[in-house]
């Protein structure tokens, strides 16, 4: 539904409650307003997260927005939206606060809920970051399984840029475990996929990873 339609519907419900004595209109208004606010809160939180990645300056409002989106989607019974919002709460803990252990339960809940509703894109994000948490904990084989699953999910749904990003993550993991040839194979594939879909930022990640591994730090 377009924004104008939502606004029009809330106006109609207001008039129904105010002037026609419709006792159900207020409750229905809450649902409509929640449906407007939830994606807006999530979008605002994502914008703040990208800004953090750019300047590394934390904004406490980011977490509040993701938690609000989670609450609203749960209230609406929107499993896909709730799973997405839960993922971003976990991402705040893992990426912004550097606490993968704190983020893990949110990724786990996100993954299970997304699987229940068949949201493979959100599954791919949640399992990817579970892989990062496993890698951080030294559980390299489990991390490889999760990162591989993420790439497979993204390949299935045609999320090419995400697939390329996932291959870069696998390359770093391979390098960290002493599998340099595998790391370069992942990077070659990532480069090809990124170029095929115009994912220029990911192409830059590939170049950075090649320099990292070639420098003997892998």
* CA neighbours closer than 13 Å in the CB half-sphere of residue 19: 6
pLDDT in tens, 1-43: 444 465 566 666 555 555 565 566 666 777 778 888 999 999 9
Whichever domain contains 40, its CATH number is 1.25.40
Whether 21 maps to a domain, the answer reads: yes
pLDDT along the chain (218 residues), means of 10: 55 58 66 87 96 92 98 96 98 96 97 98 98 96 98 98 98 96 97 97 96 71
Q: pLDDT value at position 60? A: 86
Whether 9 maps to a domain, the answer reads: yes
Whether 167 maps to a domain, the answer reads: no
Report pTM. 0.87
Q: pLDDT value at position 3? A: 47
Q: In sequence order, which residues have a C-beta less than 8 Å from that of residue 106 and are 6 or more positions away?
A: 86, 87, 89, 90, 93
Range of the domain at 59: 3-127
Whether 136 maps to a domain, the answer reads: no
Number of domains in the chain: 1
């Amino acid at each position: 539904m377009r924004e104008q339609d939502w606004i029009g519907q809330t106006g109609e419900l207001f008039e129904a409650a105010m002037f026609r004595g419709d006792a159900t209109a207020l409750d229905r208004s809450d649902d409509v307003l929640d449906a407007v606010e939830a994606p807006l809160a999530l979008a605002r939180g994502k914008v703040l997260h990208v800004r953090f990645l750019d300047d590394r300056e934390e904004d406490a409002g980011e977490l509040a927005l993701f938690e609000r989106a989670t609450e609203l989607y749960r209230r609406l019974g929107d499993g896909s939206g709730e799973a997405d919002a839960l993922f971003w709460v976990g991402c705040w803990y893992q990426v912004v606060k550097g606490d993968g252990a704190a983020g893990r339960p949110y990724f786990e809940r996100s993954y299970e809920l997304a699987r229940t509703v068949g949201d493979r894109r959100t599954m791919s994000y949640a399992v990817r970051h579970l892989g990062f948490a496993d890698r951080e904990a030294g559980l390299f084989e489990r991390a490889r399984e999760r990162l591989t699953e993420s790439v497979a999910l993204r390949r299935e749904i045609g999320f090419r840029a995400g697939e390329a990003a996932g291959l870069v993550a696998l390359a770093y993991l391979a390098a960290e475990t002493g599998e340099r040839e595998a790391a370069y194979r992942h990077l070659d594939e990532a480069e090809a996929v990124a170029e095929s879909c115009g994912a220029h930022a990911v192409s830059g990640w590939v170049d950075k990873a090649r320099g990292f591994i070639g420098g003997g730090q892998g």
